[in-house]
A = this chain, B = another copy of it.
């Protein structure tokens, strides 16, 4: 199977605190603590591994938190390229009580120095030597400009690897300008990055910038794609799937990458992405999928249309 390099530019330890009730300005006894390696690229790599691909997760990691991440990713059985940085890997804290949506506290992450940014691009290039595909998924840490994502796409291309970018904002536009082979934003990211009023105009804006294939995940509204010929494809979401949507977009990204490498036609690619998104919703934890459900979903025609 093809080797895939999956970059998580700004990984985080995802900590979940369970409390009996929340009250601002008060002291809370934390009843349970869960801690897992987080970051969209980490989720993508996990799903790719479950699909039988050989992903290698490439992450800037630093400090004691970075060591923990490194160990935790090894325990998941994922290949890891730990890119050492001076700063401390960030944490995100989610506080969960029986009444509210989780309260999230997201750290910005460690700032990379200019030397680290340059060395990271070179490390990504070197990792692409034996790879067929570079996947970049997630937000950027302080110190890394959006344009740098274009540099990563160019680095992949210079080694003969394809590039898929799942990002928002200026990073998405920079990836388009650099000619990324696939862009895979979600709908909100697409509209925000392009300033477009609807998905079709947003995709057109990215194509205008230089994008090739664009795949947009739309949650319960399925996926939309435009290929380099300008043909438009659409697939509905798998109906009646209830659960935790966190990580569904990352599973869909893994599906797009996987189908792209397997040479599937666009309707089949979208079906795989939709089935994986739904199979991720069935699992309480981001980065996991219900494999049996995935196989069931993907073998049923839910009406991809051109």
Q: Is A65 an interface residue (CB 8 A)?
A: yes
Q: Is A68 an interface residue (CB 8 A)?
A: yes
What distance in Å separates the Cβ of A106 from its nearest Cβ neighbour in chain B?
6
Which of A27-35, A162-170, A237-245, A284-292 lies at the binding interface?
Answer: A27-35
In-complex Cβ contact of A106 among B15, B29, B65, B102 (8 A): B29
| Contact yes or no, B107 A25, CB < 8 A | no
| Contact yes or no, A106 B68, CB < 8 A | no
| Contact yes or no, B100 A24, CB < 8 A | yes
What distance in Å separates the Cβ of A102 from its nearest Cβ neighbour in chain B?
7
Q: Is A101 an interface residue (CB 8 A)?
A: yes
Interface residues of A, count at CB 8 A: 35
CB-nearest residue of chain B to A33: B107
Q: Is A204 an interface residue (CB 8 A)?
A: no
Report B-chain residues with C-beta under 8 Å of the C-beta of A104.
26-28
Q: Is A64 an interface residue (CB 8 A)?
A: yes
Report B-chain residues with C-beta under 8 Å of the C-beta of A27.
104, 106
Report B-chain residues with C-beta under 8 Å of the C-beta of A90.
33
A residues with CB within 8 A of B = 15, 17, 19, 22-31, 33, 35, 63-65, 67-68, 71, 88, 90-91, 93, 95, 100-108
Q: Can you give 13 contacting A-B residue pairs, CB < 8 Å?
A: A15-B91, A17-B93, A17-B105, A19-B105, A24-B103, A25-B101, A26-B103, A27-B106, A29-B106, A33-B90, A63-B68, A64-B65, A65-B68
